[in-house]
Chains A and B, each alone.
Chain A
């Protein structure tokens, strides 16, 4: 296995909300709680979970766009928080992000050529910007003429490719893709995912792919981490996780994949929205109110993420699975 390139160690992040009354304390939302995650060089790590589970917060923390309340993010063994200015600039160049909605991620006032070369100017990368621009447009399959047009002249899929080209401009090592296809038309999703796969090979990238869609994960990821309510509940290689999910939440997610000819599914559908998915937290496992396998211990004790089996590739945070 390759070396870790990005690592989160016991990372927590809470957000303070505006105070409800003049004298009251400001309520806090615990977006992430004690998250440990390793991204190995060259792999595609999937982070999956429902909305509000902290996926995007984790992505922003990994990118250094936000600081954890506690814990540490390391890039190649160096703590991001203590990096020098020069170190940070290098870090910015080596990690780039693409967003869910390509309509919102491109400045509508700038031409495509300017948008894509903007990271080069910002990071003072001394290559010939026009040559690089032509390379990038070619890599994402857009015509060279695209550079003189505005983002709104393109379709959603094309815009996402512009965003990908911009992210690749500074030659990053890590590409974080935050729901890269969920805002796109179904007909161009597969195409965009294949493009990302090809670019990963071509540019030698490590990818962190965030999604709520397990079928997307299955398509592109090597390893998957499942998040629920601000913590990681299960990790493992994608095939293992799909064939033998351990955590009841993972099973729920898998059962939610639509199939053309589905057999009976493992978990009943009654595990809809109940309380507990939000940031409020009492003692015990946060999935307990929705869990079909719940025991008394689940309400009393919060399960830790423990590794399963011999090679330590899989871990799960569940009392039922760990016993």
Chain B
């Protein structure tokens, strides 16, 4: 036969690979630090259901604005004499609850919308994307004010407002990532053995864009915490006496000259949880990706 095909040599790559993928997977530092922080916040929130150092809503005016470590108040007391640590612990519940549900709303609606746009193309894609542009242009704060006017201010209004505001972001990211995956040969192969677009999206596309989605979800979770703080700061979030990090921060502002530490702790709690969640997201992405696991 033709000369170019004459050399039929042994495939040097045929040697068996001994390691299984699971032995190679490594847990990165990001994952450990992130998981530790997030676990600590969750633990604080859970513990607060059964025990807090003091009653977080107990007002003791005579003990107001005490410093760190005063009479067993580890982080001091606020302007009503309430224990700051207890308030932060209970506030973690509020923060996690809003974060999880807001991101949940955004994912549950945004991912199918983005997938639909990527799978169908044409006018449907255009309408979904233009609709999300309109929603994207609509600030979450405004939505929260509208919802508060309609249903009254509170945790659930803030949560829905944040979640709905994030739908277009999730839809966009999903569509962008899914478009690339829909072009690949393994999708064509799946069609060639009779799989429909819905199945292909759930089975092949979502797992392959999961790293993007996980990172996006953690970024949004962190942003939701900030948004919740901002809304509570404006009085559109959790209502008194329910403790909330954002409102603690807002109330501490008045006494900033007198007791800067009062603003420091809620701010620190917000910052640490945002960092922790982002690290956790990065860590999970690295852990889930078989290719990255191989290289590490």
**Chain A interface (Cβ < 8 Å from any Cβ of B):** 60, 63, 65, 88-89, 92-93, 95-97, 99-101, 104-109, 118-119, 122-123, 143, 145, 148-150, 152-158, 163, 166, 170, 187-191, 193-194, 215-216, 218-219, 257-260
Ordered nearest first, which 7 A-B pairs have the shortest CB separation? A155-B13, A119-B193, A105-B185, A215-B2, A92-B194, A99-B185, A109-B207
- Which A residues are CB-close (under 8 A) to B4? 215, 257-258
Interface residues of B toward A: which range? 20 to 34
Which of the 9-residue segments B15-23, B97-105, B214-222, B261-269 touches chain A? B15-23
Nearest-neighbor residue (CB-CB) of A90 within chain B: B194
- Which A residues are CB-close (under 8 A) to B71? none
Say whether A89 contacts B194, CB under 8 Å.
Answer: yes
Say whether A190 contacts B16, CB under 8 Å.
Answer: no
Say whether A191 contacts B11, CB under 8 Å.
Answer: yes
- Which A residues are CB-close (under 8 A) to B16? 143, 145
What is the CA–CA distance of A215 and B5 in the complex, to the nearest angstrom?
8
Say whether B11 contacts A106, CB under 8 Å.
Answer: no
Q: State the Cβ distance, A44 to closest chain B Cβ, in Å.
A: 14
A260-B3 in contact given A170-B193, A194-B8 (Cβ < 8 Å):
yes
What is the CA–CA distance of A194 and B291 in the complex, to the nearest angstrom?
30
Say whether B204 contacts A148, CB under 8 Å.
Answer: no
Say whether B185 contacts A101, CB under 8 Å.
Answer: yes
**Chain B stretch 1-45: residues in CB contact (< 8 A) with chain A:** 1-9, 11-14, 16-17, 20-21
What is the CA–CA distance of A54 and B123 in the complex, to the nearest angstrom?
27
What is the CA–CA distance of A122 and B186 in the complex, to the nearest angstrom?
14
Say whether B192 contacts A157, CB under 8 Å.
Answer: no
- Which A residues are CB-close (under 8 A) to B12? 187
Say whether B13 contacts A107, CB under 8 Å.
Answer: no
Say whether A108 contacts B290, CB under 8 Å.
Answer: yes
16 residue pairs of the A-B complex, CB under 8 angstroms, read: A88-B194, A95-B192, A96-B192, A97-B188, A100-B185, A105-B186, A107-B204, A108-B291, A109-B290, A119-B194, A123-B194, A148-B20, A154-B17, A155-B13, A156-B13, A215-B3
Say whether A219 contacts B5, CB under 8 Å.
Answer: yes
- Which B residues are CB-close (under 8 A) to A194? 8
Residue among B7, B12, B14, B185 with the highest chain A CB neighbour number at 10 A: B185
Say whether A259 contacts B13, CB under 8 Å.
Answer: no
Q: Kindly list 8 other residue pairs between chains A and B, CB separation below 8 angstroms, not including A109-B204, A166-B189.
A: A65-B192, A96-B192, A97-B189, A97-B192, A99-B185, A145-B16, A215-B3, A219-B1
Say whether B7 contacts A187, CB under 8 Å.
Answer: yes
A-B interface contact total, Cβ < 8 Å: 112
Say whether A118 contacts B190, CB under 8 Å.
Answer: yes
Nearest-neighbor residue (CB-CB) of A105 within chain B: B185
The DSSP consensus for interface residues of chain A is helix
Say whether B193 contacts A155, CB under 8 Å.
Answer: no
Indicate whether B294 reaches chain A with its CB closer than 8 angstroms: yes
Residue among A148, A154, A155 with the highest chain B CB neighbour number at 10 A: A155
- CB contact between B5 and one of A88, A109, A163, A189 (< 8 Å): that residue: A189
Nearest-neighbor residue (CB-CB) of B7 within chain A: A190
Indicate whether B191 reaches chain A with its CB closer than 8 angstroms: yes
What is the CA–CA distance of A68 and B190 in the complex, to the nearest angstrom?
20
- Which A residues are CB-close (under 8 A) to B186? 104-107
Q: State the Cβ distance, A186 to closest chain B Cβ, in Å.
A: 8
- Which A residues are CB-close (under 8 A) to B189? 97, 99, 105, 163, 166
- Which A residues are CB-close (under 8 A) to B20? 148-149
What is the CA–CA distance of A239 and B70 in the complex, to the nearest angstrom?
97
Say whether A92 contacts B193, CB under 8 Å.
Answer: yes
Q: State the Cβ distance, B185 to closest chain A Cβ, in Å.
A: 4
Say whether B291 contacts A152, CB under 8 Å.
Answer: yes
What is the CA–CA distance of A22 and B5 in the complex, to the nearest angstrom?
52
- CB contact between B14 and one of A158, A170, A189 (< 8 Å): that residue: A158
Indicate whether B208 reaches chain A with its CB closer than 8 angstroms: yes
Q: State the Cβ distance, B122 to closest chain A Cβ, in Å.
A: 11
Indicate whether B62 reaches chain A with its CB closer than 8 angstroms: no
Encoded as 1 (CB less than 8 Å from any A CB) or 0, chain B from 176 to 209 comes to 0000000011101111111100000000100110
- Which B residues are CB-close (under 8 A) to A97? 188-189, 192
Q: State the Cβ distance, A112 to closest chain B Cβ, in Å.
A: 11
Say whether A157 contacts B11, CB under 8 Å.
Answer: yes
- Which B residues are CB-close (under 8 A) to A60? 188
Say whether A150 contacts B290, CB under 8 Å.
Answer: yes
Say whether A153 contacts B17, CB under 8 Å.
Answer: yes
What is the CA–CA distance of A189 and B186 in the complex, to the nearest angstrom?
21
A218-B290 in contact given A92-B194, A95-B192, A97-B188 (Cβ < 8 Å):
no
Residue among A105, A109, A155, A166 with the highest chain B CB neighbour number at 10 A: A109
- Which A residues are CB-close (under 8 A) to B14? 155, 158
What is the CA–CA distance of A155 and B16 in the complex, to the nearest angstrom?
11
Say whether A155 contacts B192, CB under 8 Å.
Answer: no
- CB contact between A155 and one of B9, B11, B188, B195 (< 8 Å): that residue: B11
Q: State the Cβ distance, B278 to closest chain A Cβ, in Å.
A: 24
